[in-house]
Every structure is written in C-alpha cells, then in structure tokens.
Structure 1
C-alpha cells in the first residue's frame, strides 16, 4: 500500500531549509508520481542519482522542455527528467552537480509536514 499511496519520511540535512528542517517528518503521496503529474515547485523525495541507497528531498525547479536555471551545460530538460534544487542553495548537492534526474527515481511528492506538530503545514507548488 505504501508503494502506491505514500508514507511518512524523516528528512535529514539542511538542503531544504527553511522550508524543511533537519528531522522534520513529511507525508508523501505517490499518485502524482504514477500519473506523471510532477510540477515545477513541487517538493519531492527521490533516490539519489549518485547513491541509490540514499534518498533526497528537493524542489522541482524545471521539468521537460524547460531551460535549466543554472550554468549546467544543457539546453533543455530532457523528456522523463526533472531538475531538482534544494531551497538552501548554498548547502545543497542537487541537479546543479548531477544534472537532470530521471522521473523513475522519484518516489513521492511532499504533501505536508506532520512533525514537529507546532510547524505542521501543507506544501503547495511554489517556485523558489
């Protein structure tokens, strides 16, 4: 059921600060992934392109057909890929290092933060 519906994810690291902080727990859904409905501004959880045993939490800043927003040597985001960056750009290893990420590595879209409770909030698609 978790594979198709979603689940809870404990986020570690500071690459998504201030939006998501170290040890925040987020709820993810996978329907958007299965329907190929990942949009610019979504926060996603994916397998790391350089270490398949590690997961990353990043924001989608470009999708198929978009121009990359960094100095990466690409003209357009290829079909079936997304461009991911952390909100804390000074402390994030992301597509600016490893390039576009295949949609096949995306495991879920962040819906809301559920812990800590006093910072619980829903995430909307917003451009960073």
Structure 2
C-alpha cells in the first residue's frame, strides 16, 4: 500500500463500517489479513487493489479476484504509528 501505508504501520480500523470505493479496508484472506484500497463493488464482492501496482510481491484482486463482502472486515480510519511527522511552515522572510 505504499506510498499511503508502509509495512509495520499501526492502523485504527472501524469494524463493520460501511465501505465506499476509495476507502482503505482490512479484509480476510486464506493466508491472513490484508490492507487494500476498495476499488469497486461487483456481483462477487469488493474488488481490492494495491496503491502501487509495480511493488514486488503485490497481491490484490488482479491475482485472487473479488473478495466477498463478508470478508471485508472494516475501514481504516487512522494510521497512528509511527506518528506522522509534524511539519511547520517556515517563518516569513
């Protein structure tokens, strides 16, 4: 999910929240949980995609198809670790 998220980021997930296209979601797959962007709802479930399609080892709906709605557990609402860097504007010259 780079550049939006990196491996090891801690996320706050709202379980059971309504999902809309463009949301980052957590879904259950046979090998464990995945974090992907919900692209569209199809007749078979949610089509989930990685933000970086050229990332090594990328796995998403292009590889395993749509994910059943019941396997999309919730919507990511916040990345809380590592804390985003605070950036202050430079003082006026």
Q: Which band: TM-score by shorter chain?
A: 0.7 to 0.9
Q: Distance in 1 between matches of 2:60 and 2:27?
A: 11
Query: More strand per residue: 1 or 2?
Result: 2
- Structure of higher RCO (CA pairs closer than 8 Å, 6+ residues apart): 2
Are residue 89 (structure 1) and residue 53 (structure 2) matched?
yes
TM, length-normalised to structure 1: 0.61
Question: Residue 78 in 1 paired to residue 56 in 2?
Answer: no
Deviation at 1:31, TM superposition (A): 4.0
Gaps of 5+ in 2: 87-93
Greater fraction helix: 1
Q: Which runs of 4+ in 1 moved over 3 A?
A: none
Aligned length: 84
Q: Structure 1: any 5+ residue segments left out of the alignment? A: 1-15, 64-76, 121-128
Q: TM-score, normalised by structure 2?
A: 0.82
Task: For residue 97 of structure 1, give the secondary structure of its aligned residue in structure 2.
Answer: helix
Task: Work out which of the two has the higher radius of gyration on C-alpha atoms and give 1 or 2.
Answer: 2
Task: Compute the displacement of 1:119 (Å).
Answer: 4.7
